[in-house]
Structures are given as C-alpha cells and as structure tokens.
A and B are shown apart, each in its own frame.
Chain A
Amino acid sequence: MTDVYVHGIGMTQFGTFVDRTMKDLLLDACVQALEDAGNPRVDAVFIGNFMGGAIYNQEILGAIVANELGLGFIPTAKVEGACASGGIAVRQGVLGILSGEYDTVLVAGVEKMKHASTADVTQAINAAMDNDSNEKHAGLTFPGFFGVLANRYFYETGASKKHLAMVALKNREHALNNPLAQFQKATTLDEIMGARIITNPLGLFDCSPMTDGAAAVVISREKSSVHIRSSAQASGPTQMQDADDLLSIPAIGESGRMAYEKAGVGPGDIDVVEIHDCFSMTELLAIEELGFFNKREGWKAIEEGRTKATGDKPVNTSGGLLSRGHPIGATGVAQIYQLVRQLRGTAVNQVDGARLALAQNLGGTGSYSTVHILERV
C-alpha cells in the first residue's frame, strides 16, 4: 500500500492537431491538472514521452514544463519506456513521494505523431524492438508480433478474427461517448472484419492509431478521495523467440501479480479497468494475464460481453488505445485520467459505484509493463 493520492487530472482532446505544438498540448494538460488540484506547490515533474527526440526534435520536456509554468528550480526528468513511458512516469512520481523526497509531484505524458509521415513514425516505433537481432532482420514488425500471437491463439482456442473485431467494436462503442476520444464515428463488425489487412489476421481496426495528445496528473502524500493503492512494474522478453509461452506476456502478468499483492486485493475485487489495447489481440491476452479470465478463455468473455461498460468486468471505458487514441507517451497517464473520473463518479461510460480500478500500460512487445491500482476513499 502506498500513501500517495491523486489530486488533479487533465487531458487534451486526442486526435490530429497538426497546428498545435507538443509544448502547447503538454502545458494544456498540466494546467488542467494543476487547477483541478487547487494549484499546490509542486516538488518535482516527470514527463512520459517516447519519440519527441526522434521525430519532433524536442527533449528537456521536464524543464520546459517547470519553466513555462513557473514551478521554480525543481528537479524534473523525461521518462522513456516505449508505450509504457506514461505509466513509468506515474510510477517514478509515486516512488519519489514514497522515498520521502517529494510531497507533491506533477506527472504528464505527451506525444506528437500526426505531423510526421507514417514511414518515419513506423521507423521511430521500431526503436522499441531489439534491432540488433535476427528477429528484426527477418522483418518482424510491432503489429507483426501480435499477428503471430493471434494466429497461434486461434490455433489453440476456439477464437477467430471475429473475436478480435468484437474487442475493437466494444472499444469504439465506448469512445462514441467520450468527447476527448480520437474516433467518434460508429462502425460495425462487418466493417472491422472487412478492413484492409495490416499483418494477418490483424486489420486496420485491430491496430491503435497515430495520435497527438497529452494527459497529466498531480499526486501527493496529502490525502484526497482517490488513493493509489499500489504501483508495480515488470519487464519481459524483448524478442518473440525468447518467449517460453508465446501466448503469455510475462511483464503484464508479473506487474499485475505484484500490484495485487501490494494492494492486498485480487482480480475479482476490481470494478473497472483500463488495459493497454495497442492491438485488439493485446487486450485479449492482458485480460487473461491480469487474472480476470482464465488463460486461453479471454475470447469467451468478449463473446459474452463481459468486458463492456455494462458487463461485470468493464475494460477500456475510455475507448482504449484503439479508439480513444494512442499518443504513445501520454497513454499511461490518460488511463489514470479515465480511472480517476470513474472513481469520482464523473466518467464517460460511468460504472455504477466503482471503488477499485486498475490501469495496465505496456511498452514494446512485452518489454515493460506497469500496473496501478486506484481506490475511492
């Protein structure tokens, strides 16, 4: 159990903002979070960001936030952990408070992607694979990894492409109610199933989009109505060929196991979940790894609608990465944003009486995972 509480949250609209700078998006989310928290004195800043240097030629994000917001000469850092950059930044803030060094920390995540060409962004994303490997030389890609997993999953279970489509459709239906989500156009199972193939069996709707956006949280040792009950992080194989069990992502399972243990709760206690659905297949594996459903049976829960906002284990009520959008460094922080709103009772797709919430943020093809368990107190 930690003695860390969430005091403020902020988030920009996710989508295509070619005319807004990364600094503009980042400061927008930070100011929202600071105002929501009642403008406390901030002792440190952590920023989650993945490709600001590679495709936007901008680093020193922590110092920029401290300077532009007039926070004083406080310590700051940019945190990189591929798509888990935001979750790791939140965790660094929590650890900074737990260490006794800081009382109050501003954590934000940001990414600017839509100004760049798809080829440049794809190239930058591939930095999250082990590029000095026979696997990379074979031409494996990020979505390709999850395509290989999906074909094996289909082979071993009764699942099919339709179940992946049902994950994508569910998250789109959640996003339709979220004014901050990137995709707010209704779709159908047929449209998802018939979409252009990226890497079989994954089609366009099975893959998270490129997105501009930012999110921020203010956390403190001072009490509030939202307690960060636990924070955990794990790493895992950086190559597909190193996996003992291809249908397991140990970083997710291990970070979940530690988070439950620290919080003194189990998967059955969790009321609402934000999971890292970078691909529809990833959500299927994550709901199994986190113990919500049995291994190799997540697809049945999808089929039964159990992970819808109206189901018994609501997953990605924000729309998830697939439809809320995936501005890489912001994603882990945006998950916290949605869950805090759930616990405050003010969320889109509000789950009645939500008390315990879990966020899981994945980096690379299973390289990093963070899990945070939040509680309404």
Chain B
Amino acid sequence: MNVFTCNGCDYQSMTAKYVCPKCRQGKFETREVSSKGTVYSFTDIHIAPAEFAGIAPYTVALVQLDEANVKVTTRMALGVQIGDCVELDRIEDGAFLYKGV
C-alpha cells in the first residue's frame, strides 16, 4: 500500500498534506510499503450508523505498519487483540479490510 513521506524531514502519513505539518516546508512523496503491521488498538462496534448496521458488530482496528512510521485505520472481523500481526485482505468501498497473518 502507499504511504506519504515528507521530502524535508522524517514525517510520514497515511494521507498527503499540502505541506508537511511537522517541518512546515517539505512536500509529500508516495512510497510503496508492505500492508503488514501490528494492531495498535481497536474497538468492537455494536451500535453502528444505518450504513454499517447490516455488518455490525464489527471491529475497527488502528494498525501500526511494519515498514513505515504510519498507522492506518482498518476494518476486521471480531476477535482482535492489541499486538496481533495483521495484513491487508482487500480494499472494499474505500475501506482497508484487514485479517490476521
């Protein structure tokens, strides 16, 4: 998957900014990294808005990527714990769907 890295400092992000929020000068370049990472935290969403009610309960996990100083918000099946090793299963409707390695 793609992450964005500042060409002026060590700031990295899942999303590109107009200017680097850390050094305020650098511009962003894309870098391809492995989707593999570790669950940093999560929640199991039982009460969901109408558009997601059909798939509730589901887990939203914040994943720390192995190959970049970047966290990515993902959706997973229930049963996740902090520290689990995970990877991208597929991208669906703009969401990163992750699964255990």
Contact = CB atoms under 8 A, between A and B. Distances in A.
Contact of B52 (A139, A147, A200): A139
A138 B96 contact: yes
B49 to A, nearest CB: 5
B-side interface size class: 20 to 34
A144 B48 CA distance: 9
B19 to A, nearest CB: 14
A141 interface: yes
B49 A122 contact: yes
Contacts of A242: 13-15
A147 B62 contact: no
Nearest to B82: A155
B50 A138 contact: no
B43 A199 contact: yes
A197 B72 CA distance: 25
Contacts of A239: 14-15, 73
B74 interface: yes
A147 B53 CA distance: 18
B49 A123 contact: yes
Interface in B67-101: 70-75, 82, 93-96
B73 A155 contact: no
Contacts of A201: 43
Interface stretch (A2-10, A129-137, A340-348, A350-358): A129-137
Contacts of B52: 139, 141
Contacts of B55: 139
Given A123-B50, A138-B95, A155-B82, A133 B15 contact: yes
A198 B47 CA distance: 5
A200 B46 contact: yes
A128 interface: no
Contacts of B20: none
Given A126-B49, A139-B95, A240-B73, A148 B44 contact: no
Contact of B72 (A134, A141, A155, A200): A134
Nearest to A151: B41
Interface string A166-209: 00000000000000000000000000000011111110000000
A144 B62 CA distance: 11
Contacts of B45: 139-141, 144, 147, 199
A197 B78 CA distance: 14
B60 interface: yes
A264 B64 CA distance: 40
A20 interface: no
Given A134-B73, A239-B73, A246 B40 contact: yes
B62 A148 contact: yes
B50 A122 contact: yes
Of A123, A126, A135, A246, which is in contact with the most chain B CB atoms at under 10 Å from its CB?
A135
A152 B60 contact: no
5 contacts: A139-B75, A140-B60, A151-B82, A239-B15, A246-B62
Interface of A: 119, 122-123, 126, 133-135, 137-141, 143-144, 147-152, 155, 196-202, 239-243, 246
Give the 3 A-B residue pairs with the shortest CB-CB distance, closest first: A147-B43, A137-B94, A152-B41
Given A242-B14, A243-B71, 18 more contacts: A122-B49, A123-B50, A126-B49, A134-B14, A139-B60, A139-B95, A144-B43, A144-B60, A147-B43, A148-B60, A148-B62, A152-B62, A152-B82, A155-B41, A199-B43, A199-B45, A240-B73, A241-B72
